[in-house]
Chains A and B, each alone.
Chain A
Amino acid sequence: MNLLEVKDLHTSFFTGAGEVKAVNGLSFSLEKGKVLGIVGESGSGKSVTAYSILQILTHPGRIVSGSIRFHGEELVGKSDEEMRKIRGNKISIIFQDPMTSLNPTFTIGNQLMEAIMMHTNRNRKQAEERAIEMLRLVGISEPEKRMHQYAHEHSGGMRQRVMIAMALACEPDILIADEPTTALDVTIQAQILELMLKLQREMGMAIIMITHDMGVIAQICDEVIVMYAGGVCERGTADAIFYHPKHEYTKGLMRSIPDMNDDEKNRLIPIAGTPIDLLHMPPGCPFAPRCERAMKICLQEKPKEYWVGRDHLSACWMNVREGLCYGERPEEEVEV
């Protein structure tokens, strides 16, 4: 059984202007101890997916339909009280902005201990010991002193370490990291990613890494989901996605990133057009209006996901036309 099984998830925001379909029929599964990357641009629904799993969506957003199974147990429809036992305990999240996700009026220690005492039977003394142990684990020097300090006394990188310590204090099965390094500098980003991978290996949890940075994905992920307009474009192992992309959007995304090894300064090939308006979704493939190779069928009918390799699925009509699809999962590696 998979650790997490998301099936046909639909999450919408019911705004005054109409229904915004932020997540539109998303399915994926996560195995124990794997690092899954979800990559996409702003508005692709990657953060909303994370919030839907934890059910921390804010009004006017809500899960419209679909199923989220954790250890085979359905999470959709659970009460707030039941969810509270899972959040921060079994499934934890680290947010993008370490500046605003800590409470400025409580000490670091206070906030860490609150999470520990809420989910375990530890008393104050034991919780304090655990909190200090966690701070040491994430590489914070003098943790005893830091426990009595406030968020503003820490740098961005340090705050993100505190957030990681808090998220991992109860040894969750899944850690959701929502752009954890976007607000940080590259040298600090390298520290944090290294730390996350080290802890993942030691504690054996699964990570869902949400990011827009292909470099971060390449560095730490086993599997990748590429999202656009609330749906999946393509999914597969990191190698399959990076070396054999089979969706026009993924290909376009790769082409538009400047290559560090290109000394000739070849012109970038951008994806034309503007990001999709989620209020007015086209009937066919959501990427079709920006796709250079769009065909008639792309504008009319939404493509379903087809196997294009042993660990590789893609939702693009181009593969069907070029005969690159398989009716079922291929037995052997077939990437060209």
Chain B
Amino acid sequence: MEEIKKGFTPDPDCLVQVRNLKMFFPITTGFLKTTMLKAVNDVSFDIRRGETLGLVGESGCGKTTVGRTLLQLYKPTDGEIWFDGRKIDNKEALKNFRRRAQMVFQDPYSSLNPRMTVGDIVAEPIDVHHLCANKTERENRIRELMTLVGLNTEHATRYAHEFSGGQRQRIGIARALASKPEFIVCDEPVSALDVSIQAQVINMLEDLQSRLSLTYLFIAHDISVVKHISNRIAVMYLGRMMELASANELTKHPLHPYTVSLMSAVPVPDPKVSRNQHRIVLEGDVPSPLKVPSGCPFRPRCSRATAACAEACPAMREVSPGHFAACHNL
């Protein structure tokens, strides 16, 4: 959370370090008029080696944009990304980074090319990065990857439409693993799946993490899933980070008023608990990201907002060891 820009020394315990990341998109809002959509605004965080950092928030909060900007799928407006002690700022570093960092997408239907066989889909990163010397090696690697994610190796010549949602997500994961990455951004990898299939994929992601010593950024809106898989969780709201703490701490003792209401709104699959649950029902909707309120973005919906909240956006600070929150009233 250090705000030091100059003389930044990377932490060897961290695989990914993001400092003051900003991603603004110009949106045409009228005749000759463009407004900046601040999808990600001054976000900083670290991901330690071998850990899973969960990223939660409501739709439009910028969590997917963080994942994509982090992988340089968008060119960040501002900010620094450090990977394994190196800053990603030149072509050479980027090329190396692209092989070592991969992504699993949300929609298992639109993220697989319907005209390619499963084998070719899985082998695409291998082809792009020239990781196999010859055809036999490539075939063997495809077979190895498909076994790794629990797919039948004989299905390599089939097309994506012949598979169910859960199997397609496995294909997406096999593709992400093909270039032997160390870091994977999982963007809502299970939200399109049924509950019973969801658990299969979550278990598989956990197994792969320990077997291949992977580091994950796990983006999802389902808090119980994120809590289960993550070591630490970060909460975003309207492009800004609100709170970051260990998974148990954040779900048990949330500090930021937004996180508190978010946690109380999560439906508990237990009727007796649910009936007696004290819910803080937030008034109103999330404001449009084009018209972010001044100061703290959560201010208009916050019950504890004061005059100070309208003036300056609170910075993230360590409230208790390892527990960061951005709120003036803590």
- Mark A residues whose CB is within 8 Å of B: 41-42, 155-158, 185-191, 193-194, 212-219, 238-239, 242, 252-260, 262-263, 265, 267-272, 274-275
Contact partners of B227 in chain A: CB under 8 A = 258, 260
B272 interface contact, C-beta 8 A: yes
Instruction: Please judge, given known A-B contacts A256-B195, A274-B167, whether A218 and B268 are in contact too, CB under 8 Å.
Output: yes
Verify if B93 is at the interface (C-beta below 8 Å from A): no
Nearest 10 A/B pairs, CB to CB: A215-B267, A270-B199, A258-B228, A256-B199, A271-B196, A185-B58, A214-B269, A190-B265, A41-B194, A268-B199
**Cα separation A182 to B251 with both chains bound (whole Å):** 22
List chain B residues, Cβ under 8 A from A212.
Answer: 194-195
Using an 8 Å CB-CB cutoff, how does the interface string of B256-289 with A read, 1 for contact, 0 for none?
0000011011111111111000010110011000
Q: Tell me which residues across on chain B come within 8 A of A156, comparing CB atoms.
A: 59
A35 to B: closest C-beta gap in Å: 12
Cross-chain contact B285 with A157 (CB below 8 angstroms): yes
B166 CB-CB contact with A under 8 Å: yes
Q: Nearest chain A CB to B151's CB is how many angstroms away? A: 12
**What residues of chain B lie closer than 8 Å to A259, measured between beta carbons?**
224, 228
- Please determine whether B271 and A268 come into contact, CB atoms closer than 8 angstroms: no
- Among residues of A, the one whose C-beta sits closest to the C-beta of B251 is A260
B196 contacts A239, C-beta separation under 8 Å: no
Q: Which residue of A lies closest to B265 (CB)?
A: A190
Query: Which bracket fits the contact residues of B?
Result: 35 or more
16 contacts between A and B (CB under 8 A): A41-B195, A41-B196, A157-B285, A214-B269, A219-B271, A219-B274, A242-B270, A253-B196, A257-B269, A258-B199, A258-B225, A260-B251, A268-B202, A269-B199, A270-B199, A272-B200
A128 → chain B closest CB, angstroms = 25
State in angstroms the CA–CA spacing of A268 and B197 once bound together: 11
Q: How far is the CA of A265 from the CA of B224 in the complex (A)?
A: 11
Report B167-221 residues with CB < 8 Å from chain A CB.
Answer: 167, 194-200, 202-203, 206, 221
Alpha-carbon distance A265/B262, docked complex (angstroms): 21
B-side residues, CB < 8 A to A, are 58-59, 164, 166-167, 194-200, 202-203, 206, 221, 223-225, 227-228, 248, 251-252, 261-262, 264-274, 279, 281-282, 285-286
Residue from A239, A254, A271, A275 in contact with B269 in the complex, judged by beta carbons closer than 8 Å: A254
**Cross-chain contact B196 with A268 (CB below 8 angstroms):** no
Please give me the residue from chain B that is nearest to A157 by CB atom.
B285
Residue contact B265 to A187, C-beta cutoff 8 Å: yes
Question: With A and B bound together, what is the CA distance between A271 and B198 in angstroms?
Answer: 9
For B281, the chain A residues whose CB sits under 8 A away are 187, 190-191, 194
- In the complex, what residue of chain B is closest to A189 when comparing beta carbons? B265
Residues of B within 8 Å of A155, CB to CB, are: 285-286
Q: Once the chains bind, are A275 and B197 in contact (CB under 8 Å)?
A: yes
B237 CB to nearest chain A CB (Å): 10
| Neighbouring B residues of A275 by C-beta, 8 Å | 164, 194, 196-197
Residues of A within 8 A of B59 (CB): 156, 185
Q: How far is the CA of A272 from the CA of B218 in the complex (A)?
A: 24
Bound-complex Cα distance A272 to B204 (A) = 13
The closest CB in chain B to the CB of A271 belongs to B196
Closest A residue to B266 by CB, please name it: A186
Count A-B pairs with CB separation below 8 Å. Answer: 126
B197 & A270 in contact (Cβ 8 Å cutoff): yes
- Flag if A187 contacts B282 (CB, 8 Å): yes
Majority SS of interface residues in chain B?
helix
CB of A216 within 8 A of CB of B267, answer: yes
Q: Which residues of B contact A274 (CB under 8 A)?
A: 164, 166-167, 197
A138 to chain B, nearest CB (A): 14
Complex CA–CA separation, A260 to B56 (angstroms) = 15
Q: B282 and A253: CB pair below 8 A?
A: no
CA distance A188 to B261 in the complex (A): 11
- How long is the Cα–Cα vector from A269 to B200 in the complex, in angstroms? 8
B275 to chain A, nearest CB (A): 8
Contact check, A256 vs B196: say whether CB atoms are below 8 A apart: yes
With contact pairs A190-B281, A274-B166 given, residues A242 and B266 touching in the complex (Cβ less than 8 Å): no
Contact present for B271 and A186 (CB under 8 Å):
no
Q: In the complex the two chains form, is B164's CB within 8 Å of A242's CB? A: no
Q: Are B267 and A268 in contact (CB under 8 A)?
A: no
Residue pair A239, B271 in contact (C-beta under 8 Å): yes
Please give, as numbers and ranges, the residues of chain A lying within 8 Å of B223 by CB-CB distance. Answer: 186, 260
Residue in B252, B261, B268, B279 whose CB lies within 8 Å of A215: B268
Q: How far is the CA of A262 from the CA of B251 in the complex (A)?
A: 11
CA distance A260 to B271 in the complex (A): 14
- The residues of A that contact B268 with a CB separation of less than 8 Å are 215, 218-219, 260
Q: Which residue of B lies closest to A155 (CB)?
A: B285
Contact across chains for A187 and B200 when beta carbons are under 8 A apart: no
Interchain CA distance A218-B276 in the complex, whole Å: 11
> Are A238 and B228 in contact, CB atoms less than 8 angstroms apart?
no
Bound form: Cα–Cα A182–B166 in Å: 19
Are the C-beta atoms of B224 and A260 separated by less than 8 Å?
Answer: yes
Bound Cα distance from A274 to B167, whole angstroms: 9
Name the CB-closest residue of A to B248.
A263
Closest residue of chain A to B228 (Cβ to Cβ) is A258
Roughly how many angstroms separate A189 CA and B252 CA in the complex, as a whole number?
Answer: 21
Chain B positions within 8 Å of A191 at CB level:
281-282
Contact B194 A186 (CB under 8 A): no
Please measure, in the bound complex, the distance between the C-alpha atom of A145 and the C-alpha atom of B122, giving whole angstroms: 53
Alpha-carbon gap, A188 to B228, bound state (A): 23
Minimal Cβ-Cβ distance residue in B for A44: B194
Query: How far is it, in angstroms, between the C-alpha of A270 and the C-alpha of B198 when the chains are bound?
Result: 8
Which residues of chain B are near A255, meaning CB under 8 Å? 199
In the assembled complex, the Cα of A181 lies from the Cα of B73 at a distance in Å of 31
Residue of A nearest to B192 (CB): A42
Q: Given the known A-B contacts A194-B281, A212-B194, A216-B267, are A187 and B228 also in contact in the complex, defined by CB atoms under 8 Å?
A: no
Residues from chain B with Cβ under 8 Å of A185 in the complex: 58-59, 221, 286
Q: Which residues of B contact A218 (CB under 8 A)?
A: 267-271, 273-274
The residues of B that contact A252 with a CB separation of less than 8 Å are 196
Other 5 A-B pairs with CB < 8 A, given A41-B194, A218-B269, A270-B196: A157-B285, A242-B271, A253-B195, A257-B195, A268-B202
